[in-house]
Each structure stands twice: as C-alpha cells, then as structure tokens.
Amino acid sequence: KRPPATPAVIKAFKPVSIRARTVITFATVDKEAILADVRGIISTQLGKELEKVAPESKFADLGADSLDTVEIMMALEEKFQITLSEEAGAEKITTVQEAADLICAQIAAK
C-alpha cells in the first residue's frame, strides 16, 4: 500500500521484480517536509508560535500535558494516515524530532 499523497511525501517510486512481476514500491520520504508538518500540527494543537516549536523542543517544555500529547498523536496519525502504537515506540516520544523520525519510519515501512 502506498502512503497518502501529502506534501510531506516525495513521490519517488522504484520498480522491484518479484517472481517475474514488476511492482512499484515507495522509495523515499522527505524528512524535512514531514518535520515541517509535524511542527505545524504541534504549533496548532498547543497554540504556540511556529518559531517556538523547534525540532529539539520537548512536548512538556512547550506546555503539553498528557491529554495534549494524546491529541497531538491523534492529529499526526490522521495527517499521515499511520498508527503510532506502543509497539512502534510512540510512548517514548518526547520531542518534536522524535515524532517526525517515527512518522518517517512508519511511512517508509509502508
């Protein structure tokens, strides 16, 4: 299944041969665009200026409580059409960059 068409995803495909059939697979992810989208979502959810939401910013330092963090994760899941589960490491996310990195990994794995 191909990731959804979002501005954060480069539409780069590479052919892969499987049992004499050519299948198109998703090849790359635009990490900078995903980080920008993640920063925007967090900024909106917390009512913070975008400039204050740096990649190294911790959710707690931005004023997020546990409910805010859950709402951020839900907004990210909706935006990127992914599931941020405990198995994927979602409970360990504390910074903006960690969230973006996990999303990139999830999209690349699709």
Catalytic residues: 65
Backbone region of residue 19 per phi and psi (left: phi > 0; alpha: psi in -120 to 50; beta: other values)? left
The strand ranges marked E within the chain are: 13-18, 21-26
3-state secondary structure of 22: strand
Contact criterion met (CB below 8 Å) for 81 and 38: no
* Cα 107 off chain centre by: 8
Q: Tokens in use for 1?
A: 């299944």
